[in-house]
Amino acid sequence: MPHDVAAAYATVAARVGPLLDAIAHERLALPAPARDAVLLFARRVGSLGDESEIATLFELDTLADIADEEDPRAFDLAAPASPDTRSGVRARQSHFSASALNAYAECARKWFYRYVCSAVEDAGSSASTYGTAFHAALEDFHAEFPQPDPTHETQMRTRLSGYVNWSFERFRADFGTAVELELQKRRAQRTAVRYIDWLLAEARRAPFTVIGREIAADLDLDGFAFIGYIDRLDRDDRTGAVSIYDYKTGSIATSAAEYRDKVREFRDFQLPFYYWARTALGDRVTRLALIPLKDALLDVQPVSLEVVPVAAPERLRGEPTTGTIAVADLERARARMIEICRDLTSGALQQFPATSDPSACTYCAYANACIDRPHDDRERFGR
Ligand code: SF4
């Protein structure tokens, strides 16, 4: 075994107990042939009687020679190296993103794995490819239909169906199997029908123009550069007010109040970041909304927050997917983003605690390697 590898094992053994025990009980992983060789070696050494037998085994005349500094065959064991001085971790990225801060807010350990170690490459899944393909289809669709018009309903439905087909074909290779591709495409087609239903209802209520698709959002927050992409940006044709939309193909808050709480509790920075990025460019942003595109069986009904000077109390009746958020809440979110960036770049962070919320681990790419992940009761028969 190479010297440095053996030294690494010896170092780890200082934490896990006797090295050979750890190898024998598979607490320390070793390739099978190396493991068998190590254990055989240990057994043979253990079975030797006295020093002379060991000396014979290692072709040394006597062990006494080893200790004799005058003897040219003698060698000294190296003194153990002193450990490096512990120092903190510093974020290395030149740009921050709202999703990186969301990851940090969700689980500091996950942020460390993903943004500091780049520990594993997330291979993605058919669910994430579904999201990518659907985003691309809607981007193409709104390039052709920036002003949804109810008199063009048939044409809009036909064209979106075509864009979905084309987009899912483009990403064909990223779906595991042809069956998976077909299932996800059908799911997207059903959801697209509901998307058009909602789009037409919106256009009838208040005509609007899609002024941005996958549009870059740059923002400098107190010297920290942020970058992101806004899925869709609309301008109300009558008032000029701007709405920011984020397509969501995964699980999201089910009510406006729930989403507003996430912003207030600094668990979600995405829409606040977009708000400040567009406000800095002079837009009058009055609405922030998440568009759910996950469930083909449900109507598309965005979780929408109107930006107001003072937020209304939570609604007890009426439509739970619409609500308000105060500018002060968005200002606090912005201040917290700056604070987190300062922490991450200070070099003072030495600990990245694992989350206490098991649901954060469900799709975490590091779950298999994360020894501190919280126990999930739903897995009690699965681990
Ligand atoms: S498995 Fe859970 S605790 Fe571990 S890094 Fe991922 S989210 Fe955090």
Q: What is the pLDDT of residue 252?
A: 86
- Report the chain's C-alpha Rg in angstroms: 30
DSSP code per residue over 128-150: HHHHHHHHHHHHHHHHH-SS--G
**Over pLDDT 90: what percentage of the chain?**
56
Q: Which residue has the higher pLDDT, 250 or 279?
A: 279
Q: Is the predicted pLDDT of residue 303 greater than 90, yes or no?
A: yes
Residues 155-214 pLDDT 10s: 999 999 999 999 999 999 999 889 999 999 999 999 999 999 999 999 999 999 999 999
Say if CB 222 and CB 168 are below 8 A apart. no
Q: Is residue 383 classed as helix, strand or coil in its secondary structure?
A: coil
Tell me the one-letter amino acid at 32. A
Rounded distance between C-alpha atoms, residue 137 and residue 250, angstroms: 17
Q: Where are the alpha helices (DSSP H) in 17-125?
A: 19-24, 32-47, 51-57, 63-67, 98-106, 108-111
pTM for this entry: 0.76
Q: What is the pLDDT of residue 69?
A: 56
Say if CB 327 and CB 316 are below 8 A apart. no
**Over pLDDT 70: what percentage of the chain?**
87
Nearest partner of 244 among 280, 273, 205, judged by Cα: 273
Show me where the domains of the chain are located: 3-67, 116-338
Q: Which residue has the higher pLDDT, 41 or 98?
A: 98
Residues 54-112 pLDDT 10s: 667 666 655 555 555 565 555 566 677 788 787 888 887 789 999 999 999 999 999 99
Ligand 1 within 6 A of 300 CB? no
Q: Is the predicted pLDDT of residue 8 greater than 80, yes or no?
A: no
- CA 145, 150, 155, 159 dihedral sign is positive
Q: What is the pLDDT of residue 1?
A: 67
Residues 104-155 pLDDT 10s: 999 999 999 988 887 776 677 888 899 999 999 999 999 999 999 999 999 9
- The two beta strands, 208-221 and 224-236, are antiparallel
Q: Is the predicted pLDDT of residue 344 greater than 70, yes or no?
A: yes
Going from the Cα of 355 to the center of ligand 1, the distance in angstroms, rounded, reads 6
Q: What is the pLDDT of residue 103?
A: 93
Q: Is residue 220 classed as helix, strand or coil in its secondary structure?
A: strand
Ligand 1 within 6 A of 181 CB? no
Average pLDDT, the chain: 87
Q: What is the pLDDT of residue 38?
A: 79
Pocket test for ligand 1, best of 366, 375, 378 (most atoms within 8 A of CB): 366
Q: What is the pLDDT of residue 54?
A: 67
Nearest partner of 360 among 344, 349, 371, 376, judged by Cα: 376
Right CATH for 116-338 from 1.10.3210, 3.90.320, 3.40.50, 1.10.3470: 3.90.320
Q: Which residue has the higher pLDDT, 358 or 82?
A: 358
> 26-40, 275-289, 327-341: which has the minimum mean pLDDT?
26-40
User: Angle formed by the axes of helices 98-106 and 270-280, to 10°?
Assistant: 150
Q: Which residue has the higher pLDDT, 230 or 77?
A: 230
Ligand 1 within 6 A of 115 CB? no
